[in-house]
Structure 1
Amino acid sequence: MFTKKTVFVVGAGGSFEVGLPVGSTLKTRIAEKLDVRASGSFEGNPAIVRAVASAAKETSSFGGAVNRLVGAAQAIRGAMPLAISIDNYLNTHSHDSDVVMMGKFGITACILDAEANSTLREYDAAYNMDFANIPDSWHNTFCKMLTENVRLGDLETVFENVAIITFNYDRCIEHYLLTWLIKYMRIPYGEAAEICKRLPIFHPYGQVGLLPWQTTSGSGVRFGEPPTEYNIRQISSQIRTFTERVDDDDMLSAMRDYLSEAERVIFLGFSFGKMNMDLMRTGRDGPRKDVLGTVLQMSNPNKAEADHRIRTTLTGADSGWLVTGMELSSVAANELLNNYWYRLSD
């Protein structure tokens, strides 16, 4: 159990451990999904084609709208090899509603497919996963640390000192937590769901829909649900570009409050991109902070810059004086948590 106020910041490398794509692979898959054409016949990924047709029907000119959206899809396809990430590309072209819509369609279809093909996929409708055949990941280590020395009757308190900021669109963290608690703690779905709802978790760029247990009606989007015309259109409206998410003042304020008040911040599979670091910048002081992070395959000059960006983000001043301990390790997320288990559970 975590005794100090701890915030986990999770990037694509965190989901990579359970089989989801990192940014470079995601760009390629989005380009493949957006291979739609309107010359002679309207062809391409069936779900995206139907989503485009549905969106076009709501305009004054169906044919003109289809041509614009197909053109936007082709523009994204051509630019993906040049882009830092799909997020950066959509931020650059945030003025073009057609590009933004098609980018979100591509993201939605790719992430739902990636969830369905991940190691966390369910094998039945009762939220059962084959844990014995899931390669160990930081999700499992996190749950073990979270519940160390915790009796079943005290389970409702496990998230009291923890918050998570994830820059991923997937719901791997939420899905894993729920199924882990059901299996290990031997509690029913409803009880596990109520406990999971206590965890503050922020998706600055949105997510591919709320899971059923996260909604009051239970009509959310299941983990790895097949992309359809309906859910692509519905879910894509919940994806946010950098500009759109900056406008969500309530979410950003709450997220920054947790970071400001944290005594420990842990970066897992995160790239420390300037756009994302700026988004988290607290602009105010708080308690002194102990920082851990993964910098797998990162060059020494980039590690040094990551160190500087962390201190600036968490302190509200370039001096970074509030960061009293900083250890950036060239390991994957799960190895980092295992290496520092004693320190984190102190």
Structure 2
Amino acid sequence: MIRTRTTFIIGAGAASELAMPANDELLLKIGQSLEFSRLGTPTQSRDTAMLAHYFTSLATARGQDQAAAFKAAERLRLAARLARSVDAVLDQHDADPLVVACGKLTLIHFLCQGEAKSILRLAPRVTGDLPIQGTESWLYQFGQLVTNGVPLSRVDSCLDAVSVISFCYDRSVEHFMPHALMMAFGMPFEEAQQLVSERLRIVHPYGTLGRLPWQSGTGPALEWGVEVPGDMQALVPGIRTGAQTLADTGLVAAMQAVVADSQRLVMLGFGYHPLNLEMLAAQPLPAAVEVLATTYGLNDSAVAAVRRILGRRFGERDGDGLVLANVRANDLMRDYALLLES
């Protein structure tokens, strides 16, 4: 059980442990699939044909023609070759609503594929089991931490000290946790879903693919792992650009309040982009707040830069107040499990 007020900040590196497409992979897919000059040739891909159809329908719905849609595709394709992130591509074109909408539609297309092909299935193969392949993922470790040592009589409190800020668009935490609660406590699945819906504080700064069918809300519902949704355009408003997120002062204030109320921050697979850090904290945090963060794959110079960046944004920390671990998200959750439960 997590006893200290802890906020888990999830980035794309953590999502890749679930076999979701990483940022570089998404940029590559965008660059390849939006080359509409291949339409009608032997080199045309299924993704290219589908996206051309989506773009044309989107443009038509907005009173524009196919030529405008294809021009937007070429703009996105070229920008993706230079950009560091998909979010940057969208923000760079905020003056052209059609380009932004087409970019979001492309992102939705590949994220739906990502959920469908991830190691997190819609349902477990065996009733009562988990719908995830293996145990080598941060999400499995998260489920263990939340449920370990909690008596059934106190199951309502197992999420009291937990908050999640996910910079990913998928709904993996929301989908997984009811299964984890059902497995750990033997509770009815619908009751586990209700508990997660009511008690798990989770924020998606950049939006999501839609709410899961059992989640409350007014936006479009989409079941986990649906590779080709029936209405792609309905999901577009659920994706936000960085500029749109910053403009939503209520959302930013809510995120910053969650972080400010935390006694421990756990940053998993996070990219440390300045814009994302700006969303998390408006001023340095108290020195007593612990920060555990992964720096997997970064060289010494990059790790030193991350240390300085976090110091400037969250405030300097001495000794064990800041832990930068060059490990995967799963490994940090496993190796620091005792601390995270303390």
Q: TM-score, structure 2 length as denominator?
A: 0.90
1:344 aligns with 2:313: no
CA contact (8 A) 1:111 1:169 kept: yes
Distance of aligned partners of 1:183 and 1:85 in 2 relative to their CA distance in 1, 3 Å threshold:
same
- The answer for the alignment partner of 1:16 in structure 2 is 16
Letter in 2 for 1:334: N
Q: Is the 8 A contact 1:11 1:168 kept in 2?
A: yes
The verdict on how the C-alpha distance between 1:282 and 1:33 changes in structure 2, with shifts beyond 3 A counting, is: same
Cα distance in structure 2, aligned partners of 1:328 and 1:44: 39
Residues in 2 aligned to 1:257 and 1:298: alpha-carbon distance in whole angstroms: 30
Relative to structure 1, the CA distance from residue 50 to residue 228 in structure 2 (aligned partners, 3 Å threshold; closer, same or farther) is farther
Work out whether residues 211 and 220 of structure 1, in 8 Å CA contact, stay in contact via their aligned partners in 2. yes
Q: What are the within-5 Å matches in structure 2 for residues 244-263 of structure 1?
A: 244-263=244-263
CA change 1:252–1:5 in 2 (3 A) is same
Q: In structure 2, give the amino acid aligned to 1:215.
A: S
Paired letter, 2:327: V
Query: Following TM superposition, by how much is the alpha carbon of 1:184 offset from its aligned partner in structure 2, in angstroms?
Result: 3.1
Aligned-partner Cα distance in 2 for 1:269–1:322: 23
String of CA shifts for 1:186-205, please: whole Å, max 9, x gaps.
22222111111211111111
Distance 1:191 1:304, change over 3 A: same
Deviation of the 1:87 alpha carbon: 0.6
Q: CA deviation at 1:125?
A: 11
Paired position in structure 1 for 2:54? 51
Q: Which moved more, 1:75-84 or 1:5-14?
A: 75-84
Secondary structure at 1:225 match in 2: coil
1:88 paired with 2:88, answer yes
Counterpart residue type for residue 14 of structure 1: A
Q: Deviation at 1:345?
A: 1.0
For structure 2, the residue ranges without an aligned partner over 5 or more in a row are none
Q: Taking structure 1 as reference, are residues 36 and 123 closer, same or farther at Cα in structure 2, changes over 3 Å only? A: farther
| Number of aligned positions between the proteins | 338
* Distance in 2 between residues matched to 1:322 and 1:69, nearest whole Å: 53
**Cα gap change, 1:214 to 1:32, in 2 (>3 Å):** farther
Q: What letter corresponds to residue 204 of structure 1 in structure 2?
A: P
Deviations 1:269-314 (A, max 9, x none): 1111112112212326547211111101112122122112222322
Give 1:2's aligned residue. Answer: 2
* Alpha carbons of structure 1 residues 259 and 124: separation in structure 2 relative to 1, 3 Å: closer
Q: Please give the residue correspondences for 1:243-282 in structure 2 after superposition, counting only pairs within 5 Å.
A: 243-282=243-282
* Matching residue of 1:215: 216
Q: Give the RMSD, CA atoms, in angstroms.
A: 2.8
Identity of aligned residues (%): 26
Q: Which moved more, 1:163-172 or 1:304-313?
A: 304-313
Partner amino acid, structure 2, of 1:118: S
Tell me how far apart the structure 1 counterparts of residues 48 and 216 of structure 2 sit (CA, whole Å).
29
CA–CA distance in structure 1, aligned partners of residues 6 and 132 of structure 2: 29
1:171 Cα deviation after fit? 0.9
- For the 8 Å contact 2:52–2:70, the answer to whether it is kept is no
Change (3 A) 1:131 1:143: same
Quick one: which amino acid aligns to residue 329 of structure 1?
A
1:111–1:129 CA distance, 2 compared to 1 (3 A): farther
Partner of 1:294: 294
Q: Which amino acid aligns with 2:252?
A: L
1:249 Cα shift?
Answer: 1.5
1:169–1:203 CA contact under 8 A, matched in 2: yes
Per-residue Cα deviation, 1:67-93 (whole angstroms, up to 9, x for no partner)? 112111122122322110111111122
Residues 33 and 58 from structure 1, CA distance in 2 versus in 1: closer, same or farther, beyond 3 angstroms?
Answer: same
The AA in structure 1 aligned to 2:30 is I
Counterpart-to-counterpart distance in 2, 1:75 and 1:132:
38
Q: Give, in angstroms, the shift of residue 34 of structure 1.
A: 3.0
